[in-house]
Structure 1
Amino acid sequence: MIDNFLLLFDYPVLSADLALNGLLIGAVFVLAAFGMALVWGVLNIINIVQGEFVMLGGFVALMAAEAGLPVLLGIPIAALALFILGWGLYRLVIFRVIDRDLFVSVLATFGLSIVLQQLSNELFGADVRTLEAGLGTLLLFDGAVALAQIKVLAFFLALGLGLLLWLFLKYSRLGQAIRATAQNPRAASILGIDTDRVYAATYALNAALCGAAGALVVMAWAIHPYIGLPYTVRSFLIVIVAGIGNIGAVVAAGLGLGAFENVAGFIFGTEYQIALVFLLMVLVLVWRNLRLQRKRMYLK
């Protein structure tokens, strides 16, 4: 562990390689975190099934490629398929937990995540799957740093989709209805906004974002039916660090998490990489709790 840490100082190019690859990974985390922040802010539920949406998006893109479609076409196909799934799950389950205790939403979506895991295992098998995009490798610093071009593409696509989301929420009629419902659902309903439709669209939009993220994940990295939980934890961690309504902070937190995870995985070993993310989440929750306690003391 110490030797790996010292290597980062002895070989700055290695540090650059880890940091750049981590930032590319972090952009995909950002895309899934956008969806979680949206659902949490509008529906006031913590969506534990977030990672399973990412996993299913990857399998949809994989099936599209196996059907002979262009690889990159799997991204919009996955987004559309998950949008439909998200809308259906809202109508079947999620609408029942709106305005209920937050813990009820955690239990309901946790149950959905288990169901989707087991169904995916039955349909696709438990093997680790990947999809070769065939875009080659980008070499930097005279070949010392190698970046898969699909990862670079995933980075810009993820940030581009985040920008489109911001524009959609700011300027479209549905986006404005989503923002109004997030601020005060009762007032929005009195003004004629169909809040149930807004909730359904918001949840489906979240699933579509995760579907696009999953399509990028299967092309740049790998998927299997049980890969969902780490993506749920990452999304949750990013949102609690950045806050629900701050898109810029979500981007910064997601990119930072990707870089941290990649560097920490090199120092401590890849077998501890996910464990470090869980540990970081616990530390952030403790820190946020201490801040809330101090604010309560000041109010007294």
Structure 2
Amino acid sequence: MSVNTTDLRFVTFTLLGVPGLESFHSVISAPLFIMFICSVIGNPLIVYIILSDRGLHAPMYVFLSMLAITDFMLSLCVAPQMLAIFWLNSQIVHFSRCVIQMFFVHFLSYMETGVLVAMAFDRYIAIRQPLRYSTILTGPVITRIGLVLVARGVFVVTPCVYLVARLPYCGHEVINNSYCDHMTIAKASCGNFTINSIYGLTQLILAFAFDVSAITFSYIFIIKAVLKLQSKEARSKAFGTCSSHVCVISFFYIPVAFTVFAYRFGKHIPPCIHSLFSLAYLQMPPMMNPLVYGFRTKQIRDQVLKMFHKGKN
């Protein structure tokens, strides 16, 4: 029996997890669980350290706090449902819950890439205009940047809710993944999802192309400025402050690029590969970001060591 778009409260989806690898779900869940634990411990720890140490209230660490909060929320949005599928075989999700998850997955992904752009801009100002750094990136300016990122995410993702709600669903909705996103919901419908595909690809290309271009140009100017420094020690320190950010960018954009383009153009790639890469792009950055900044940022590393020493005493 077909279900009308007016009867969306009766629509459910079956999430397959990693299709084709169902017998390995318990094995796949182990690294995902470790990633989840690292994220929900590491990211709040980063925020706590930054808030508790007045020496870490510089713009760079404010943006790092934004990134940690975004990563923490992304993990909570996706990982518990993934683990429920892998451990409890809890595959059925109602339409409203699936759409809410879709909204936050996309919104938080846009927040993540937006914060990475803001952090690149922060490093650009710190290296190109070190004497004006604190006067350019003031508290109100950082607040406005944060609000713009939130507004952008809401503006870009909200149409996706309407676009999936307008599609007809026929009672056999299956999603070849362990979470809901725009195109997996659209492809699970029994209607024409061409508009969804066009909008999804267009907004991804526009948003990510802008963000990647902004980061690239920032680092071109950063490298030029660093190479002009006379002191070898100063050049090494400048590159060191950027290396953590470059690592974090790689962890986020490489899986995203593969997932987006392979999902739309890689028709011969097995569904399990699509699913595994989409899991990586959602779970790896929230785990790796606090580890990278915790180990490579001396001020944060020192605070973590102090906390462990206090705990032992």
TM-score of the aligned structures, taking structure 1 as reference length = 0.29
Which structure: larger Rg? 2
Greater relative contact order, per chain length (Cα 8 Å cut-off, separation 6+): 1
